[in-house]
Structure 1
């Protein structure tokens, strides 16, 4: 019996030495947060039932009117992309289209039979004025910018009327007369008969159009805005050139 008890105790000692008992795992308790805890308590302003919820402001930016006109908006956007990538080519082609339509409208108003030579003269005049006109308005937009927006706008309008308006009008009527085959004295006579009248009438239109353009129109769309105004203006200039040309021819015949 003593031997059996000794063997049993030896086995127990060896078992404890080579195979230590695993510690009993502590029971896991999940901490339950109280609803009264400040971090979990719902805020009064977030509770719709409290009537004090703060509304979230709208994050959608206002879109200009001309960008909400369906196919017309896509046309404006395509023109803006072309203007940014190829400004000179875009301005050149736009000017050709404007002068072409303006001359067609003027011939229609006069009631005369369509004269393709007259349209060709208008396209030649457009080709010579498109890039300088674009460069001028870019210069005007990048300069005369003062802390006062009113002063900046008034300066731009005044400078445009004093320098650009008489220059472009003189160029238009002089080239119309020269391309028609008139001599230099006849060209000068055409300028004297047309430019003063056109300058007076331009003061009724272009200051307001220029002020509106530099105030509300983005730079990439200013040229297309001016194109719509120029379409009507070129129609008027073509009509005035034709009217003064008839008077000059009649005067020369009588003389």
Structure 2
């Protein structure tokens, strides 16, 4: 009983913060979940020991989430909602099409570039990593995100769409962290 009451309080606080400070709340959740995705990659996929964990890398992922991913996705979803609408099957298909054909390819370049810059890559290294990683990551993007976004845009109210994406992105960020750390 006490557990469910405390969970209800957390949900109330989250809703209040989301209403009062939408951009800050969504940036914070994106930063937290991106950092968590990096830690999952290091702990479960790379199987690093505690002494070998790269906390700078985790902080970098958190910063990318806070300063880039959270604010950009929140703004993008607002633009889609304003210019395409929020209800109906055709609207959802238009939003997913715009999201996957316009936003996803461009945003992946920005994301991978930001990660590469924070890893200390110069322009030549950055270009090489983009040419090596981008096509495969984009292809994998299309295996996951269209279905997620169909669900998200159809069933989820605008103010919770970033949260849904960030929860699914916990796995995606784990994959991105792992992929971009190879051959660093």
TM-score class normalised by the smaller sequence: 0.7 to 0.9
Q: Which residue of 1 aligns with 2:145?
A: 206
Answer with 1 or 2: which has the greater Rg.
1
Q: How does 1:138-157 map to 2 (within 5 A)?
A: 138-145=78-85, 149-157=88-96
Deviation, structure 1 residue 70: 5.6
Residues 189-230 of structure 1 show CA distances to partners (whole Å, capped at 9, x for unaligned) of 111111111111111111111111121112222222222111
Alignment partner of 1:187 out of 121, 126, 131 = 126
Q: Which residue of 2 aligns with 1:102?
A: 37
Alignment partner of 1:132 out of 52, 72, 97 = 72
Return the structure number with greater helix share.
2
* Structure 1: unaligned runs, 5 residues or longer: 1-68, 250-255
TM-score (norm 1): 0.64
Q: Which residue of 2 aligns with 1:158?
A: 97
* Structure 2: unaligned runs, 5 residues or longer: none
1:111 correspondence with 2:111: no
Residue 181 of structure 1 aligns to a residue whose secondary structure is coil
C-alpha contact 1:80 1:220 (8 A) present in aligned 2:
no
Tell me how far apart the structure 2 counterparts of residues 196 and 128 of structure 1 sit (CA, whole Å).
Answer: 25
1:227 correspondence with 2:169: no
User: How many residues are treated as equivalent by the alignment?
Assistant: 176
Tell me how far apart the structure 1 counterparts of residues 175 and 7 of structure 2 sit (CA, whole Å).
Answer: 26
C-alpha contact 1:141 1:214 (8 A) present in aligned 2:
no
Residue 205 of structure 1 aligns to a residue whose secondary structure is helix
